[in-house]
Structure 1
Amino acid sequence: MSSPPTGWAALLTGVNAVRTLALVGGVALHAINLYIGTTILPSVVRDIGGLEFYAWNTALFVVASIISAAMATQVLGKLGPRFAYVLGAAIFALGSLACALAPSMSVMLAGRVVQGFGGGLLLALPYAMIRLLYDEALWSRAIGLLSGMWGVATLVGPAIGGVFAQMDAWRMAFGALIPAAALFTLLAVSVIPRRNTPSSPASPVPWLQLFLLAGAVFAVSAGSVSPQLAWNAGGVAVAIALSVLLVITDKRASNRLLPKDAFRPGPLGALYLAMALLAMMVTSTEIFSPLFFQVLHAQTPLASGYLAAIMSAGWTLGSLISSSATGGRARLAIRIAPVLALAGLVGMAVLMPSPSDGSWQVLAPICIAMVAVGFAVGIAWPHLSTRVLQIAPQGEEDLAASSIMTVELFATAMGAALAGMLANLGGLSSPGGVPGTAGAAQWLFAVFTLAPALCLLTSRHTANPGSPATRQTADGTA
């Protein structure tokens, strides 16, 4: 009699194969949607207007994702795995329908918010359900597959968005997500159990902190609409005030977004800051790159989508190469990353704003600079994440693990909002056209060189954060 399958075979055969397809499908929908959105946005604004709200599409989607992801364990506990997943897919499909039918940018943004709520559940629920659906020996492989969906998204998302945009049918790109959501819903209904296994009750959702977080992003987004510097400064000032309130509130709360040590001078705070700056740097660059390639370098929507996605491909490549590094090699990766990213952003600030005929002699150096930025983040990210887990205060290890995604998503949303502000200051909406787009590219990349420069200042703490033996307990005692 043959023995039962183990390892990857156990995860990818029988009922586990269908469960795995359902779970990775949820993460893939969220990730692919991000790349579809960035690829087709130039076509969207040409059709329904709203160029000054260009970056809001990403910012609002991600903020809604943060809020719903924070609610995922509560939804899972109340509805059970099956119906929690169905709810997330249904909300995502409803938002996709609203985007597909949007007659104006205001309706599009509302649809993106609804999409974000559904997408956040589809992103967070699979991670929470792994322990319910698989034996412990399969957990690491299942997590690896879920993470790998972001790499798949860099291939599939620009293709879907680019093909439909070139057909002058961008609405169908959003519409195509609806049957995909329905398919994964049917799979979930067929193989995901209705009820949870007994577990400890989920922690309350930190609503006040989430409200302040969302308010900070919205303040920057609101400030970005006007090309007036005073209006922009007001939005940033409000965002800073709300961020300070967020820190004060989270430090005092019994149910926190981040471990207590995240807001004290020292290694953990430096690690979170470095991760936020690196994630923000990639987001700010990616969301506008398809527009820059189309307007300034005569690229088709399909080509511009893939050119923009090479930064994420560089992130994936860097992570694969660097993830096995230990000791001195890991510290070297963390120290090199800001230098490489700074060089890449300087290259983009110099090369991207100059209009061209789109020849490869012009595009190749720009692509090399973009890959350099993504690769820099990729070689540092695994080690920064690992160090967060290693030095997390005792009693807050689970919170530290979940907070990594919170920091990344918040940085993504804030990066999108700041990118929109800088692009409009540079002239994207006024005067617009080729001169305005060139000015937007120059402002955007030049100002965001501050992100890797600040990372250099944190490298002493991030490269040598200490050891688990020196961790503090959650109440601050040694």
Structure 2
Amino acid sequence: MPVPAPAGEPGPPSATPGPLSAAHRRTTLSVVAFITLVAFESMAVATAMPVAATALGSVRSYGLAFSSFLTASLLGTVLAGPWGDARGPRAPLAAGAALFTAGQLTCALAPTFSVLLLGRLLAGAGGGLVVVALYVVVGAAFSDALRPKVFGYMSAAWVLPAVVGPAVAGWMAVHLGWRSVFGVVVPLAVVVALVILPRVPATGTGSLEATARRRVLRGAVLAVGAGALQVGAESLTEGGAWPVVLTVAGAALVVGALPGLLPRGTLRAARGLPSVVGVRGLYTAAFFGTESFIPLFLVTERGLRPDQAGLALTGGALGWFAGTSIQTRNLTRMPRHLLLVAGGAVIALGIGVLVGVVLSGVSGWFVLLVWLVAGCGMGIGMATTSVLTLRMAPPDERGLASSALQLSDNLGGVLGIAVVGAVFAALHTGDGGQDDLFAGMFAGLLLVAVLAAVVGTRGRAPRRAEPSPPASATVLRP
């Protein structure tokens, strides 16, 4: 770099071989290949879901198709951390790839929406295992100076799927049927897994401590609680006592399980790693809660075709890549923890403008540009949380810390989608002309993005020699 790195920033990347050097090339390309597959699946499913939900007569339960995936990811995420530390990342990666593939096949063959949700649960559990395993690989294989570039490559892997994925998936959903969108992922997943697995380390510390086993149990409780919370919240309008009981019980299980799964102090935004992990969840709640309903809004309220509506996802992913490039170069020379604040602020800006676009009744094509801005905020913030987490965590607990980060990621998405999904299920009439409903949903998530920017101010590491307290018991997106 032409100027010295500020305190706490990595030194010049030229001091060590780069991610594409002979020493690292195979590992880098293997990670990027799997992320490319995950990216295509994410873009394709989000584009085709309005068609699938309509065909199966379950538009009011639309949000469950996304939040169920993330709920199952919670369990996979919690399991993958200690499993990867103890046995190496190959075993959880292999199990994750198998579950992910089985879930896609189940969705492709689903005769009802309930079976589709089962497939999303299987795929989500596999996705949780895969993402954390890849983080363990990155933490073990690359130095602190190289990790920002590696995360940049991981974001770059979303570019091609983001550009062609929505158009291809939209065309397939209309002309070949929505089932083909899920089905095409199955052979691709098998091929990518067979290529990657031989290049992934198969050994770890060799021990699975009692605390790790307790974490897995807590993770199961958390996943069950999150699932109960979603189903109960979406059923409140049906009347009766059981939706209320299910919602309250689910919320109690989530609150009770979290303290043993996240770094101590996360819920009160303690300085350092706890706030970094907390910000991650706020990012995903705001962004994915909004993005999940954008294609449905564009199809039902603005009359766009599925492939056209999917272009909003393309804009978000391209913005995400641009934001990740900014944090990789850190062009502003801003202390890295302040990039957490910048990420939340830019996400809030994008969602705020989106609310204005919805209320103004202008063409849905403006949403495509607006969502590029929000995606840029996610690129800045999400990659920064990854870098800071691996920097602050002790080397032998990177699996736990990565698991905590991904758990916060998934739980944020679950809660963001579940809350707006419950509002949508309660107020959606199916008659169109409900811009106010979508605007209200998005406005609530705007407040979450603002909160992310506020909590980001707490992301600086405590002033002491040792790292921040580790995770005591702790879909890829770019």
Q: Same fold (TM over 0.5)?
A: yes
Q: Flag the 1:236–1:135 CA change in 2: closer, same or farther, 3 A.
A: closer
| C-alpha displacement of 1:317 | 1.2
State the alpha-carbon separation in 2 of the partners of residues 88 and 471 from structure 1. 30
1:110 to 102, 109, 118: 118
The separation in 2 between residues aligned to 1:475 and 1:402, in whole angstroms, is 9
**SS across alignment from 2:310:** helix
CA deviation vs aligned residue, 1:297-335 (integer Å, no higher than 9, x gap): 221211111213322322221221133337646465444
| CA 299–455 in structure 1, closer or farther in 2 if over 3 Å, else same | same
Q: CA deviation at 1:459?
A: 4.8
Give distance in 1, aligned partners of 2:348 and 2:81.
Answer: 38
Checking the alignment, whether the CA contact within 8 Å between 1:395 and 1:473 is kept in structure 2 is: no
Q: Residues of 1 paired with 2:102 and 2:338: CA distance? A: 46
Give 1:98-247 correspondences, 5 Å limit: 98-129=106-137, 140=147, 145-188=153-196, 191-192=198-199, 196-197=202-203, 199-203=205-209, 204-205=212-213, 206-226=215-235, 228=237, 237-247=248-258
Q: Any conservation in 2 of the 1:335–1:456 contact (CA below 8 Å)?
A: yes
Alignment RMSD, CA only? 3.8
The reply to whether residue 273 of structure 1 matches residue 307 of structure 2 is no
Q: Is the 8 A contact 1:389 1:401 kept in 2?
A: yes
Q: Is the 8 A contact 1:85 1:188 kept in 2?
A: no
CA-CA distance at 1:397 after TM superposition: 6.0
Match of 1:253 in 2: none
Q: Which runs of 5+ in 2 are unaligned?
A: 1-16, 473-478
Match for residue 254 of structure 1?
none
- Between the aligned partners of 1:397 and 1:6, the Cα distance in structure 2 is 21
Q: What residue number does 2:441 align with?
A: 444
Deviation at 1:451, TM superposition (A): 0.5
Q: In structure 2, what residue type is equivalent to 1:274?
A: V
- Displacement of 1:473 in angstroms is 5.8
CA contact (8 A) 2:152 2:321 kept: no
Identity %: 24
Query: Per-residue deviation at 1:150?
Result: 3.8
Structure-1 residue corresponding to 2:3: none
Question: Shift of the alpha carbon at 1:375?
Answer: 2.1
Which position in structure 1 is the counterpart of 2:80?
A: 72
C-alpha distance in 2 between matches for 1:135 and 1:457: 31
Query: Structure 1 pair 466/229, CA: closer, same or farther in 2 (3 Å)?
Result: farther
Q: 1:459 to 1:474 in 2, by over 3 A?
A: closer
Match of 2:8 in 1: none
Rounded Cα–Cα distance in structure 1 between residues aligned with 2:324 and 2:18 = 26
Shift of 1:99: 0.7
Residues of 2 paired with 1:52 and 1:174: CA distance?
Answer: 21
What displacement does 1:230 show?
A: 7.9
Q: Report the structure, 1 or 2, having the larger helix content.
A: 1
For residues 128-180 of structure 1, the C-alpha deviation after alignment (integer angstroms, 9 at most, x for no partner) is 45688x69799746665445434444334323321212315111111101111
Count of aligned residue pairs for this structure pair: 448
> Does the 8 Å CA contact 2:269/2:455 hold for their aligned counterparts?
no
- Alignment partner, residue 60 of structure 1: 68
- 1:386 and 1:121, CA in 2 relative to 1: closer, same or farther beyond 3 A? closer
What letter corresponds to residue 408 of structure 1 in structure 2? D
2:22 alignment partner, one of 10, 22, 27: 10
| CA distance in structure 2 between the partners assigned to 1:310 and 1:178 by the alignment | 26
User: Relative to structure 1, is the Cα distance of residues 27 and 337 closer, same or farther in structure 2, using a 3 angstrom cutoff?
Assistant: closer
- Give me the whole-angstrom Cα distance separating, in 1, the residues matched to 2:385 and 2:139: 25
- Quote the Cα distance in structure 1 between the aligned partners of 2:465 and 2:90: 41
Paired amino acid for 2:451: L
Report the CA distance shift for 1:354/1:422 in structure 2 as closer, same or farther (over 3 A).
farther
- Residue 433 of structure 2 corresponds to 435
Alignment CA distance shift 1:389-1:222 (3 Å): same
Alignment partner of 1:180: what SS? helix
* Aligned match for 1:283, one of 284, 288, 303: 288
Aligned to 2:262, the other structure's residue is in SS state coil
Once the two structures are superposed, residues 278-306 of structure 1 have per-residue CA deviations (whole angstroms, 9 ceiling, x without a partner) of: 12111011111111111222212111112
* 229 and 281 in structure 1: CA distance in 2 versus 1, 3 angstrom threshold: farther
1:379 paired residue number: 380
Paired position in structure 1 for 2:5 = none
In the other structure, the counterpart of 1:258 is 262
Higher relative contact order, structure no. (Cα contacts within 8 Å, ≥ 6 residues apart)? 2
Decide whether aligned partners of structure 1 residues 87 and 456 sit closer, same or farther in structure 2, where only a CA change above 3 A counts. Answer: closer
Q: CA deviation at 1:73?
A: 5.8
Alignment of 1:320-331 (within 5 A): 320-325=325-330, 328=334, 330=336
> What is the match of residue 303 of structure 1?
308
Larger Rg: 1
Look up the SS of the partner of 2:207 in the other structure. coil
Give the alignment of 1:41-60 within 5 angstroms: 41-60=49-68
Helix, strand or coil for the counterpart of 1:246? helix
Question: Take 1:151 and 1:367, find their aligned partners in 2: how far apart are those partners?
Answer: 15
Which residue identity lines up with residue 262 of structure 1 in the other structure?
Answer: T
Number of the residue aligned with 2:423: 422
Could you say what secondary structure the match of 2:432 adopts? helix
User: C-alpha distance in 1, partners of 2:401/2:99?
Assistant: 28
Q: Distance in 2 between matches of 1:424 and 1:21?
A: 42
SS at match of 1:169: coil
